[in-house]
Amino acid sequence: MKVWILIGPPGAGKGTQGDLLKERLPIHKLSTGDVLRKHIEAETTLGRQVKSIMAEGKLVSDEILLALVAAELAEVQGQDVLLDGYPRTVAQADALEGLGVSVAQVIYLAVDESALVRRLTGRRLCPSCKRIYHIEASPPQLAGHCDYCVDTALIQREDDQEERIWTRLAIYEKETAPVLAYYRVKGLCQEVKAEGEVENIYAKVASIFLQEQSVIK
């Protein structure tokens, strides 16, 4: 089994690119956010634990996250895995290495800070069908309203408000940017300029994946 890591600041398009890779290539996507939601919804012991931690406004501990990742990796033995949202810190990267998994490549989605802020502050969400719009890149037909639920006004998530974005970017710089340095010294970091069309970015990301595949096989 080989593990791929998708890394980048908030708004770099990790979710979009990860979904495309999962759809089009033989790779299993493991998003820690999705796994946490799955446990909470299924009301597993861990899910109940996580729910109460989050209800107190606290962060899920590294121990819990590592246990989750280890369990998911064990379940998909033999498949290539794409990690999204993990490791977020150098401590987590160390813990992942402790599991004995081999990291094939870290794909870094690089975007200028000003482009990120524009991308995130322009995002609008339909509270009813959860579709995402962007006031510049993919505006609804009628400004401020969902194309599918015409009576519903679009909203901006709190996380996408400018002040919150700067906080998220500062956390990323402090905690996650060092993860890139960690893999860079191991020669495991490939940078993709993640600006422009989604399909063009995907082509670059996929080519790294396919190249590495043919080298390994």
Question: Which window, 4-12, 141-149, 167-175, 209-217, contacts Zn ion (CB under 5 A)?
Answer: 141-149
> Is residue 149 near Zn ion by the rule CB under 5 A?
yes
Q: DSSP code of 145? A: B
* CA angle 80–182–108, rounded 5-degree value: 55
126 binds Zn ion (CB under 5 A): yes
The minimum distance between CB 150 and Zn ion, in angstroms, equals: 9
Does the annotation count 157 as an active-site position? yes
For the question of residue 124 being annotated catalytic, the response is: no
Contact partners, residue 6, CB within 8 Å, separation at least 6: 14, 17, 18, 21, 82, 83, 84, 107, 109
The number of beta carbons lying within 10 Å of the beta carbon of residue 35 is 20
CA–CA dist 205, 210 (Å, integer): 9
- SS3 at position 127: coil
Task: Determine the Cα–Cα distance for residues 172 and 174; give it in Å rounded to an integer.
Answer: 5
Catalytic residue among 37, 48, 157, 193: 157
Identify the residue among 52, 79, 128, 200 touching Zn ion (CB under 5 A).
128
Residue closer to Zn ion, measured from CB, 6 or 126 = 126
Q: To the nearest whole angstrom, how small is the minimum distance from the Cβ of residue 158 to Zn ion? A: 19
**Looking up tokens 């599991």, which residue turns up?**
99
Task: Give me the catalytic one of 14, 29, 119, 124.
Answer: 14
Which one of 52-60, 94-102, 146-154, 208-216 is the stretch in contact with Zn ion (CB under 5 A)?
A: 146-154
Residue from 144, 148, 167, 171 that binds Zn ion (CB under 5 A)? 148
Which residue among 7, 95, 116, 146 contacts Zn ion (CB under 5 A)?
146
Q: Is position 103 an interface residue for Zn ion (rule: CB under 5 A)? A: no
Is position 142 an interface residue for Zn ion (rule: CB under 5 A)?
A: no
Strands (E), 48-96: 81-84
**Shorter beta-carbon distance to Zn ion: residue 110 or 149:** 149
Q: Establish whether 131 is a catalytic residue.
A: no
Q: Which stretch binds Zn ion (CB under 5 A): 92-100, 105-113, 123-131, 184-192?
A: 123-131
CA dist list (Å): 77 to 27, 28, 38, 51, 159: 12, 10, 20, 28, 35
In this structure, what DSSP letter does residue 138 have? B
Instruction: Check if the beta carbon of residue 172 is closer than 8 Å to that of residue 186.
Output: no
Q: Which of 42, 54, 99, 129 binds Zn ion (CB under 5 A)?
A: 129
What 3-state DSSP class applies to 142?
Answer: coil
For Zn ion, the binding residues (CB under 5 A) are: 126, 128-129, 146, 148-149
> Active-site residues: which are they?
14, 88, 123, 157, 168
